[in-house]
Amino acid sequence: MEDAEATDVTAKSFLDLGVVDVLASACEQLKWKVPTKIQKEAIPVALSGRDVIGLAETGSGKTGAFALPILQALLQAPQRLFALVLTPTRELAYQISEQFEALGSSIGVKCAVIVGGMDMMTQAIMLGKKPHIIVATPGRLVDHLENTKGFSLRSVKYLVMDEADRILNMDFESEVDKILKVIPRERRTYLYSATMTKKVQKLQRASLVDPVKVEVSNKYQTVATLQQSYIFIPAKYKDVYLVYILNELAGNSFMVFCSTCANTQRIALLLRNMGFTAIPLHGQMSQAKRLGALNKFKSKDRSILIATDVASRGLDIPHVDVVLNLDIPTHSKDYLHRVGRTARAGRSGKAITFVSQYDVELYQRIEYLINQKLPLYKTEEQEVMQLMERVTEAQRIAKMEMNDAVDKRKKRKARDDDDKEDTEESRGIRKQT
């Protein structure tokens, strides 16, 4: 494996990198004026027909780095079922598909998104129409390979694995192996990962042929335009400090990270009771609700998105001004992905991490990882304590609302079970047995 020599850094535009006119003008329409660092390094290598392993952090423009070469190759030799992109999460799959369609709008590129949580039959019909690009999560794709008649990946010319470290961390290893077995050997492969783990190295050996390594992520680094700080407070005051900071920085868009789905839901209710426009995004929501929540936040209907780490990787949410780590991440690398939501593409942003008496060790790990000591965020304690009464009341209401929701679910489940018993009774099954 060779490292890509720093390609001619004077490459000012996509045309200089060898991208054809049609696609270069599509980039302009998307307001991509200058190629990002990863695009400058990866695109020329990919266009020359080599396999690429790219180490790049989120927000570095890596989707463009693999989408453009694939679309260019598709232009030269048009065929259906041309490329397969594997991603760890559903949201990321939709996002990649959106970018492919936006870049390929003038040449009529058709994409299919194949992810869990959606109807298998509808997806099978989409696959039957033979799209050019399939963007999939490994689990659901394997379901289709095993159960959907007439669907195969035999004609695929390009395979992309995006956020490979996460695909493997989420235990999709056996699915990826199955996919690699049924996909042609004669193909180009692009592997992108934020971190180079042992598992990723193993996958690289299994799937890439003489790849060129393209690296833009320096050893765990956060972007220079990001102002990071922390506040050190007792755990019981987290909510009231959160409300204080949201008031203090009002007018910005926020992403608040929690460690559990329940806490995400609770904080969303609490903030709504205080009059904030907050919206939750977590793993227990249905696919349609998740996409709905994301779109509301993207269209600026809601200014506060409260999310778990599921939502934190790879989502291109265009305008997050402030990231708040309400619950500190247990894996310090997740910190990078969380704060990678803001200060993207050269804009500036803020990240504030809440550190309670229980989080000191985790916090020290983060400082060690990013190799910098963060400043303390200044707060006015008197102003915070004035909010205490209202926040306590909102906490109480949120708790009641959470309990009501649980009760409703239990009642619904009981009702469904009763219905089942009734139908069995009416069929006379009881009597027979």
User: What is the Cα–Cα distance from 190 to 194, expressed in whole angstroms?
Assistant: 13
The end-to-end CA distance of the chain, in Å, is: 67
pLDDT band at 426 (very low <50, low <70, confident <90, very high): very low
What are the residue boundaries of the structural domains of the chain, listed by start?
15-215, 226-400
Class of domain 15-215: alpha beta
Which pLDDT belongs to residue 430?
46
User: Is the per-residue pLDDT at 10 higher than 70?
Assistant: no
Averaged pLDDT of the chain: 87
Around 69, how many Cα atoms within 13 Å sit in the side-chain half-sphere? 26
Instruction: Tokens 């018993």: give the residue.
Output: 421
Alpha-carbon distance 387 to 425, whole Å? 57
Q: Are residues 187 and 159 in contact, defined by beta-carbon separation less than 8 angstroms?
A: yes
Report DSSP state, residue 309.
Answer: G
Residue-wise pLDDT tens digits, 85-129: 999 988 889 999 999 999 999 889 999 999 998 899 999 999 999
Q: How far is CA 296 from the centre of its chain?
A: 17
Q: How far apart are CA 152 and CA 305, in angstroms?
A: 39
The DSSP H or E segment spanning 119 is: none
| Placement of tokens 């205490």 in the chain | 388
Q: What confidence score (pLDDT) does residue 33 get? A: 86
User: Is the pTM for the entire model greater than 0.85?
Assistant: no
274-301: average pLDDT? 87
Give residue-wise pLDDT tens across range 35-81: 988 999 999 999 999 999 998 876 678 899 999 999 999 999 999 99
Q: Which CATH architecture has domain 226-400?
A: 3-Layer(aba) Sandwich (3.40)
Fold match flag (15-215 vs 226-400) = yes
